[in-house]
Amino acid sequence: MKKALKITGISLLVIIVLLVAAPFIFQSQIKDMVKRTMNENLNAQVDFTDVDLSFIKSFPKANVSINDLAITNFEPFKGDTLVSAKSIALTMSIKELFKSADEAIIVNSIYADGILLNLITDATGAANYDITKEKENASTESSSFAFDIQDYQIKNSTINYISISEDSKMVLSISEFNHEGKGTFSAEKSELDTKSDAKVSFTMDGSNYLNNNPIKLDALIGLDLENSKYTFKDNKGFINQLPIEFHGFVQLLEAGQDVDITFENPESSFKNFLALIPETYSKNIENVETTGDFKVKGIIKGMVTDETIPTLDISIKSNNASFKYPDLPKSVSNIVIDTEIKNTTGKTEDTYVAINTLNFKIDQDVFKSSATIKNITGNMLVNADIDGVLNLANISKVYPVDLETQLTGILKAKVNTAFDMEAIEKNAYDRVKASGNMNLSNFKYASDAFNSPLLISDAAVTFNTATVALNSFKAQTGKTDLNATGTIENLLGFMFSNKTLKGNFNLNSNTFAVNDFMSDDVPASTENKTETTKSSTATKESLKIPAFLDCTINAQANTVLYDNLQLKNTKGTLIIKDEEVKLQNLTTNLFDGQVAVSGLVSTKTDTPTFNMDLGINSVDIAKSFEGMELFQKLAPLAKIIQGKLNTTLNLNGKLTDDMTPNLNSLSGSALAEILSSTVNPSNAEVLNKLGNSLNFVDFKKINLNDLKTQFAFNDGKVSVKPFNIKYQDIDIQIAGSHSFDQTMAYNAVFNVPAKYLGTEVTNLIAKIDDASAKNITIPITATIGGNYTSPTVKTDLTSGITNLTKQLVEIQKQKLLNQGKDKVSGMLGDLISGNKAKKDSTSTAQSNSVKDVLGGIVSGTKTKTTTDSTKTTTPTTKDAVKNVLGGLLNKKKQKDTVK
């Protein structure tokens, strides 16, 4: 007995060792076989990380796994992924591994996980899944694999089908796809038991008909492999939560597929209608009270070929039904649904949907509608009627819809429209018929886009063939009131084919607050942030100009509140197009004057931009300085001026989130003119510093009337071109620049008449006794730096000294030269006549004085004068000028030299 057990144990150990070791022996063979099979049969790039062989996973059968498979297309879909898979496993008898290379290996089961299948046909008819290589002797050559499937399974997979033609685009997506089946495929006739569930999305020409709608199908399918016929025997499917039973068959023929299927919902309760709505929207319908019936049934019969589809006869009907959710106060009653989907010819373009009746009642409000949609895949034809009243507040009281804000208001509509999509796309309004009217009253809507709820007290439109007339629109949000009339073009194009919405409007407002149309966007803060940090992260979400708008607005507002400004009697034209607003002939009263604006605001980029021309006329300087940060940056000294300002200003740059200019991004230029002004130097430290350095100027008496100056700005720096002002008979020229951080770099040149230089200079000029000397002026340069709160002032005497010295020397030189001509003429006469010149003391002193003065002025040496044998030494003219100017700039008391 022990011997038998020992032999058995050894045998089991040998078997286990063989089961574990054998895959390593055959793995290389299997891998080569998989590569060879794919390369021989597929015209595509095939990659996979590895092929595993196991005798344990599917014992007593072998299990071959292909991991991380990827099949990528060649031209014309080069680079597109046709198939990817996390793993594909095949099971087969172990004996299949010992077959020669020319024998087919029989596969019994297939398991696939994480499949992504992308099927595409383009406008030329080419298909990316047409990758099978053609073989010359296909009938005689054997494949490396043969299939005797007994069961299969697909898990967590996605199938996408995209069909693109010249006229349309269709996208079908099946996600979260799980499918399994069991049967005997080798028999001529057998049964396949399947279970499937997935989510389906379907889009055609931009219209979404299904959006992740769950489907489920448990089906027993009869297999007639000899005739390629598959019959639905016992099955039940689910569309969302609506059960559907199928009967009929699908048969594969050389010309296409022959389809003959009927279906219907087994129950007729109206609760089935709610089950058809995705659960995300219908919520839990288990305890919903319903009355009336709901029936879906249909027949799909005919051939599926390149030219034809099966005929369709599908009906969805309900009569006198109602429903009420247990947690909601109101119910929907008198529900009548009569809808048909039909195709009687087998031609795709002849498919149509007829919503013969769609009526319901909430409280005493009755809403009726009907519509037909024909030629769905071609130039779609639409005819619709709407007639009813709807209290918007009742929507959330009868149905569990998730609304961000509670709606209120009464909608009344009586509208008929008929059009084809081609007419909409080509703006052929003669083929668009529309009539009727719509009215919305007491509508309230709250959104993050507004700081306050939007209240529409009355909005009335009349529908015409080409346009919609906005007869009235009265609304209010926050401080803003709106009253508008106008016309709307292309409303149907906007609603049905993403066309631009056009219009012309007249807008009036008593108060228009720009801030009402922005929202506070406060990011969520973490617990460890301080309150200061929380408040600092609050930002304004910038206003975005809609890309779909193309309209002209003639606007007029008594008061516009923009930032901290109040604009009065504002009127002008706004042209909104391509995410831009053009302002034309916009005028407003501001700061006791008038401002004219033209320009452009654009939100095409993430950061809004603007380019504006402003004409400012007679505005109060002090008020404008106080109310506009822009003026404070461009002309900070304006705060000392009381008066009026005219200016033309061009500026461009970026806007902040609250639609005010980002000052660091500004560039532009301006021409400014000051009218009837007075100056208060006590408000500016820079003038106090200048006053301390220049004792001959009283800045309170500076005359800025009719002052004109030009300046340009860019990158936060303002450059001021030279301009002239006057203080009494002193001309002053100023030029330079400053930055927005108030750093200054200016030069002010004061042309000072000689009379301000004290008695020493005036006596010196008087001694010259020349009329031109009375008009002498001296340039004194003041260099202004630092910033406006802590300025620096430096005065330059060099040019003043040199200038005055040159003027005095030139005048005295000319005077002495004139006197010298007379003396020389007399002396030459004496020499020619041979008479000895008489030297009297008067003429000798005069001659020496002229010589000494001229020499002293020109050479800068000391001038000697002798009176009664007493010698007196006086400083040079240049030294005298220097001393006088130094005293002038440093406020030294001047001594009179007049005896």
Helix (H, G, I), strand (E, B) or coil at 315: strand
pLDDT tops 90 at residue 687: no
Q: Residue 163, class by beta-carbon neighbours within 10 Å (0-12 exposed, 13-18 middle, 19+ buried)? A: middle
SS3 of 4, please? helix
Name the token pair of 518: 């922005």
Work out the pLDDT band at 184, boundaries 50, 70, 90: low
**pLDDT value at position 462?**
94
CA dist., res. 722 & res. 7, Å (int) = 115
Of 881 and 441, the one with more pLDDT: 441
Phi and psi, residue 35, nearest 5°:
-60, -45
Question: Can you give the C-alpha Rg of the chain in angstroms?
Answer: 49
Is the predicted pLDDT of residue 845 greater than 50, yes or no? Answer: no
Instruction: Kindly indicate the confidence band of residue 142, based on its pLDDT and cuts at 50, 70 and 90.
Output: very low
> What are the distances in angstroms from CA 333 to CA 363, 573, 710, 723, 831?
8, 49, 75, 82, 142
**CA proximity to 517, closest of 572, 550, 476:** 476
Residue 311 has pLDDT above 80, yes or no: yes
3-state DSSP call for residue 136? coil
β-strand 145-164 against 105-113: which pairing, if any?
parallel
Contact 156, 146 (CB under 8 A): no
Most confident listed range (75-89, 294-308, 510-524): 294-308
Q: How confident is the model at residue 67 (pLDDT cuts 50, 70, 90)?
A: confident
pLDDT at 62: 74
Residue 732 CA to residue 725 CA, distance in Å, equals: 5
Contact status, residue 211 vs residue 240, Cβ threshold 8 Å: no
Mean pLDDT of 770-785: 77
% of the chain exceeding 70 in pLDDT = 74
For residue 848, the model assigns a pLDDT of 42
Element (H, E) at 757: none
State pLDDT tens for residues 789-821.
888 988 876 666 677 777 777 776 776 676 665
- CA nearest neighbour of 69 among 52, 90, 41, 49: 49
Q: What is the pLDDT of residue 873?
A: 42
Task: Compute the average pLDDT of residues 338-352.
Answer: 91
Positive or negative torsion for Cα 881, 886, 888, 893:
negative
Q: Where are the alpha helices (DSSP H) in 498-587?
A: 531-536
Question: Among 627, 630, 625, 628, which Cα is nearest to 645's?
Answer: 625
CA distance linking residue 702 with residue 644, whole number of Å? 16
Summarize pLDDT for 555-583 with one digit per residue, the tens. Answer: 999 998 887 788 899 999 999 899 898 99
As given in the structure block, the two tokens for residue 374 are 């024909």
Q: In the structure, what pLDDT confidence band is assigned to residue 268 with cuts at 50, 70 and 90?
A: confident
Residue 827: per-residue pLDDT: 52
Is residue 282 within 8 Å of residue 323, measured between CB atoms?
no
**Using alpha carbons only, what angle is made at residue 65 by residues 62 and 66, rounded to the nearest 5 degrees?**
150
* Each residue's pLDDT tens digit, 495-548: 766 778 889 999 999 998 888 876 554 444 334 434 433 333 444 455 678 888
What does the pLDDT read at residue 531? 40
Rounded Cα distance between 632 and 627, Å, is 9
For the stretch 702-745, pLDDT in tens is 777 778 889 898 888 899 999 888 888 888 899 999 988 889 99
Q: How many CA atoms lie within 13 A of 82 on its CB side?
A: 21
User: Three-state DSSP class for 239?
Assistant: strand
Weakest mean pLDDT among 139-153, 316-330, 732-746, 832-846? 832-846
Q: Does the pLDDT of residue 27 top 70, yes or no?
A: no
Half-sphere exposure of 730 (CA within 13 A, CB side): 25
Banded model confidence at residue 841, pLDDT cuts 50, 70, 90:
very low
Question: Pairing between strand 730-739 and 717-727?
Answer: antiparallel
How far is it, in rounded angstroms, from Cα 660 to Cα 657?
7
What pTM was computed for the model?
A: 0.62
Q: For residues 787 and 743, is the Cβ–Cβ distance under 8 A?
A: yes
Which is higher by pLDDT, 629 or 651? 651
CA–CA dist 157, 105 (Å, integer): 27
Residue 545 and residue 581 in contact, taking contact as beta carbons nearer than 8 Å: yes
Rounded Cα–Cα distance for residues 539 and 70 (Å):
47
Minimal CA–CA distance to 88: which of 157, 16, 139, 3?
Answer: 157
Question: What are the tens digits of pLDDT across the range 393-444?
Answer: 999 899 988 777 778 999 999 999 898 888 877 777 778 888 999 999 999 8
